């Protein structure tokens, strides 16, 4: 990437950071579907389609009827969907005819799908529960012998299977073999990126995923992999740039917005992180990770009352060390040091090697008048690498 291109990216990052709002009324049916609230999803989708006849809404409505075993309506919607976006419903049509047990129409639908842009991945056909019944009609053998999947496709299937079995060495060997034979196979570079990441070769993994994206820019999983690598490298600006691309590609994937809120927080856009996480909570009110993000943003904005409320709601769903540290920070900021000490102690019960949490616990104990306990904590904090703990130890405990 040349310098001019990088400058252009950073010029547009502030715009892209704040330009994509979560459309609650449009994403809510996808959440209802995920939560198996099918009748609510149907009502919402039918209302949306009146004014916004988007293929994504028809597809979700067809999938909802499929989940309700209303296969007649599912097929009607597949027909409507194919008129809007040819073959977009082809994989769902395969599942419908598989459920109906109509062998002739099943093979016809499967063949049509295999000829289309939306061809079901080989790994999914051979390994997922959705298509396991194809073997009852020998259609798994038909898939492998029909010529719709190349020898390279079959090798990529082997790579994916080996990765799922954690046989990374053999998977990398086959991946390198594919790339040596045909450098332009984007999936091979994608899988190699995953494998190099597992070997902690982050720069190598980044190089490979950059190659995959340069060869094929339409695959969400490629961008997701690069985002994960950029986050490991603390390159949050470029990670956000990629995440905004993903949101434009699929504005109805709630996880993208959750990750965006996290990135906004890491980039210290606390107001935007708070606004976005609050919007997410409108459709996922009990998601503990979003509640945690929202609480963190409120804390950074010194809205301690809301921050405490949200982190306590998060604790109703689950607990982890990060939750305890944040609540400890909130209690410390509001001079409620007794409870801060309790939460920092809970963190240290889970992970006893955090020098900075020992430092914060020591400060809370010192504020409570427990100098001996504070000094003990700062000694441990210094041992585990906290410069702040070392400073406090010298300042308060050497007299």
Q: What CATH number is associated with residue 196? A: 1.25.40.10
* Cα within 13 Å of Cα(148), Cβ side: 21
Asked if residue 220 belongs to a domain, the reply is yes
Residues of 73-95 as b/e, b for ≥16 C-beta within 10 angstroms? ebbebbebbbeeeebbbbbbbbb
DSSP secondary structure string for all residues of 21-75: ---HHHHHHHHHHHTT-HHHHHHHHHHHHHH---HHHHHHHHHHHHHTT-HHHHH
Instruction: State how many domains the chain has.
Output: 1
pLDDT score, position 246: 96
- Tell me whether residue 141 is in a domain: no
Q: Is residue 56 part of a domain?
A: no
Is position 160 within any domain? yes
Domain assignment present for residue 231? The answer is yes
Enter the tokens of residue 389. 């703990």
Please report where in the chains the tokens 């790579």 appear, as a residue.
Answer: 159
**Whole-model pTM?**
0.87
Does residue 245 sit within a domain?
Answer: yes
Cα separation, 384 vs 19, whole angstroms: 42
Q: Using alpha carbons, select from 208, 162, 202, 204 the residue that is nearest to residue 185.
A: 208
Q: Which domain holds residue 193?
A: 150-250
Q: Is residue 394 part of a domain?
A: no
Burial class (CB in 10 A: 0-12, 13-18, 19+), 319: middle
Q: Which token pair is 2?
A: 């040349």
pLDDT per residue as tens, the chain (399 positions): 444 444 444 444 444 444 457 889 999 999 999 999 999 999 999 999 999 999 999 999 999 999 999 999 999 999 999 999 999 999 999 999 999 999 999 999 999 999 999 999 999 999 999 998 999 999 989 999 989 999 999 999 999 999 999 999 999 999 999 999 999 999 999 999 999 999 999 999 999 999 999 999 999 999 999 999 999 999 999 999 999 999 999 999 999 999 999 999 999 999 999 999 999 999 999 999 999 999 999 999 999 999 999 999 999 999 999 999 999 999 999 999 999 999 999 999 999 999 999 999 999 999 999 999 999 999 999 999 999 999 999 999 986
Angle at 217 between CA 167 and CA 225, to 5 degrees: 40
Number of residues that this document lists for the chain: 399
- Which token pair is 102? 């109509």
55 domain residue, yes or no:
no
- Distinct helix (H) and strand (E) counts, the chain: 24, 0
């Amino acid at each position: 990437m040349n310098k001019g291109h990088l400058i252009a990216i950073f010029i547009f990052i502030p715009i892209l950071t704040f330009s994509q709002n979560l459309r609650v009324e449009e994403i809510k049916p996808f959440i209802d579907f995920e939560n198996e609230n099918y009748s609510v999803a149907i009502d919402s989708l039918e209302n949306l389609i009146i004014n916004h006849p988007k293929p994504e809404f028809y597809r979700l409505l067809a999938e909802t009827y499929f989940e309700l075993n209303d296969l007649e309506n599912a097929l009607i919607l597949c027909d409507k969907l194919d008129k809007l976006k040819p073959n977009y419903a082809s994989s769902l049509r395969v599942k419908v005819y598989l459920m109906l047990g109509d062998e002739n129409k099943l093979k016809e639908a499967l063949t049509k799908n295999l000829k289309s842009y939306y061809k079901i991945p080989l790994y999914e056909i051979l390994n997922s529960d959705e298509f396991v019944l194809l073997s009852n009609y020998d259609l798994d053998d038909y898939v492998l012998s029909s010529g719709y999947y190349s020898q390279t496709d079959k090798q990529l299937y082997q790579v994916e299977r080996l990765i799922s079995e954690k046989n990374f060495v053999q998977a990398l060997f086959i991946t390198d073999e594919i790339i040596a034979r045909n450098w332009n196979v984007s999936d091979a570079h994608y899988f190699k990126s995953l494998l190099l990441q597992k070997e902690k070769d982050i720069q190598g993994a980044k190089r490979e995923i950059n190659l995959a994206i340069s060869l094929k820019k339409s695959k969400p999983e490629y961008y997701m992999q690069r985002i994960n690598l950029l986050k490991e490298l603390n390159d949050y600006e470029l990670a956000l740039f990629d995440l905004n691309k993903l949101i434009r590609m699929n504005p109805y994937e709630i996880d993208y917005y959750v990750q965006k809120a996290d990135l906004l927080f890491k980039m210290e856009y606390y107001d935007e992180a708070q606004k976005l996480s609050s919007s997410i909570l409108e459709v996922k009110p009990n998601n503990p990770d979003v509640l945690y993000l929202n609480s963190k943003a409120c804390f950074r904005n010194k809205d301690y009352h809301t921050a405490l409320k949200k982190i306590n709601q998060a604790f109703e769903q689950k607990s982890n060390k990060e939750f305890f540290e944040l609540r400890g920070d909130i209690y410390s900021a509001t001079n409620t040091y007794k409870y801060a000490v309790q939460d920092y102690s809970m963190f240290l019960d889970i992970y006893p090697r955090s020098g900075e949490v020992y430092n914060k616990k020591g400060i809370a104990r010192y504020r409570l008048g427990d100098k001996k306990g504070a000094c003990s904590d700062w000694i441990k904090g210094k041992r585990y690498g906290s410069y702040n703990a070392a400073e406090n130890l010298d300042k308060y405990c050497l007299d």
